[in-house]
Amino acid sequence: MKTGSLKQILLITDGCSNVGEDPIAMSALAKEQGVSVNVIGVMENDVIDEKGMQEIESIALSGGGVSQIVYARQLSHTVQMVTRQAMTQTLQGVVNRELTQILGNKQTIEDLPPEQRGEVMEVVDELGETVEMEVLILVDTSASMKHKLPTVKEALFDLSLSLNARTGKNKFALFVFPGKKNDVEKLLDWTPKLESLTSVFAKLSTGGITPTGPALREAITYFDKKRSLRNLISRDDDEYYEESI
């Protein structure tokens, strides 16, 4: 079985973008490149307005990911849950496509009698345990997020704890937007452990604009293009092509 890696962007924000490209389009672009986009909207006592909520949902929807809006104090639990859910969702998609190939005729797991679904589920579970994950975390550090950052940091530790309990390897990277000079700034390059975050978050300065779209566009380019999940189980025709680049 060929193993590729499962790629996710985890966007943590508290509202609407206000500069640059449409983040929903950028999210759709990520999906096309095999990267799913999950969004977590963080509220404090304030509520996120209707427009912000819609944007959050739409980004996840067009990015093939999961979204959730939570109060800051629930952040830890939500971050790990959303990431896990999105992972399972992607794997289910992959396995379903696989089934269609085997069974033909556009069959999916729902066309199998319940008795036969168990084994398919075991495959999904097994993959979820062993697949390599690449999670790029994109944190909104516009002014309104400032006092939520300690909570964000804690949630990211917690995510690392959850994912590192798996047998499969993990890689995390951390980006914030807006950056000091550019729309987006890399704080942490690919690393298996998020523990190095502590020092990193201390240096943060928060800005006024929220360039969600440009940040997403930039983030996509940081993934290793060669190993997409499409090759996870199947021998896609374009595998040789991808491998030979």
Partner 1 sequence: MSTMKSQFNLQSGAVINGKWHHKHYRIEKELGAGANGVVYLATYQGQLVALKISENGYTVTSEVNVLKSFTKVQGSTLGPSLLDVDDWQSSSKLYSFYVMEYIHGPDLLSFVKQKGEAWVPVLMLQLLSDLEELHKAGWVFGDLKPENLIVTGRAPRIRCIDVGGTTIKGRAIKEFTEFYDRGYWGLGSRKAEPTYDLFSTAMVFIHCAYPSRFSKDGRGLEQLTDKVKKHKNLKCYEDVLIPALQGRFKSASDMRQALLTCSYKQTRSKGNSVSPQTRQPTRKTKRKRHGTTGAIVVILFIGCIYFFYLYSQMV
Residues near partner 1 (CB under 8 A) are 57, 60-61, 65-68, 76-77, 81, 85, 88-89, 92, 109-110, 113-115, 117-118, 120-122, 124-125, 129, 158, 161-167
Nearer to partner 1, 57 or 98 (CB): 57
Nearer to partner 1, 118 or 208 (CB): 118
Q: Smallest distance, Å, CB 181 to partner 1?
A: 34
Instruction: Enumerate long-range contacts of 200-206, CB under 8 Å, 24 or more apart.
Output: 200/174, 201/149, 201/150, 201/152, 201/153, 204/141, 204/149, 204/176, 205/141, 205/180, 206/141, 206/142, 206/143, 206/145, 206/146
Q: Smallest distance, Å, CB 166 to partner 1?
A: 4
Q: Smallest distance, Å, CB 63 to partner 1?
A: 10
Q: Smallest distance, Å, CB 117 to partner 1?
A: 4
Nearer to partner 1, 80 or 142 (CB): 80
Q: Smallest distance, Å, CB 178 to partner 1?
A: 26
Nearer to partner 1, 68 or 142 (CB): 68
Nearer to partner 1, 43 or 66 (CB): 66
Distance CA 62, CA 146 (A): 28
